[in-house]
Amino acid sequence: TAAGKGLAVTLAMAAGPPPPLEPSGLPTFPEEGFADKFLRKTRENPLVPLGCLCTVSVLIYGIICFKKGNTRRSQLMMRARVIAQGCTFAALLGGMAATAFKSRQ
């Protein structure tokens, strides 16, 4: 009956501590500065900083070409920048997926 179920639930709750509300198991890095975190993240996924560097390089070269009046090369560089940004984003997602897959094992 309902009273029996309530008693069973109450006894089960009294048998042990309640489950934790927040998930644990995430790594913490105390006393980690910006440079240490940047180096750690670069080692974990080296394609993202490389993609960012490539994107910025192509962007700067495209702006220089635009200032010099070479519109054809400038347009080509802006298209290359979009492709580099897409590759950087794909590397970011791939790194996140790999990290999630590693943490599940």
Distance CA 73, CA 80 (A): 10
Biggest alpha carbon distance in the chain? 86
> What is the token pair recorded at 23?
């998930």
Strand, helix or coil for residue 78: helix
pLDDT at res. 12: 54
Q: How confident is the model at residue 30 (pLDDT cuts 50, 70, 90)?
A: confident
Distance CA 60, CA 53 (A): 11
How far from 48 is each of 51, 60, 78, CA to CA, in Å? Answer: 5, 18, 19
Q: Give the pLDDT confidence of 44-71 residue by residue, as tens digits.
A: 888 899 999 999 999 999 999 999 999 9
Q: Cβ(36)–Cβ(55) under 8 Å? A: no
Q: How confident is the model at residue 26 (pLDDT cuts 50, 70, 90)?
A: low
Q: Cβ(100)–Cβ(45) under 8 Å? A: no
Higher pLDDT, 28 or 65: 65
Q: With a threshold of 0.85, does the pTM exceed it?
A: no
pLDDT at res. 42: 87
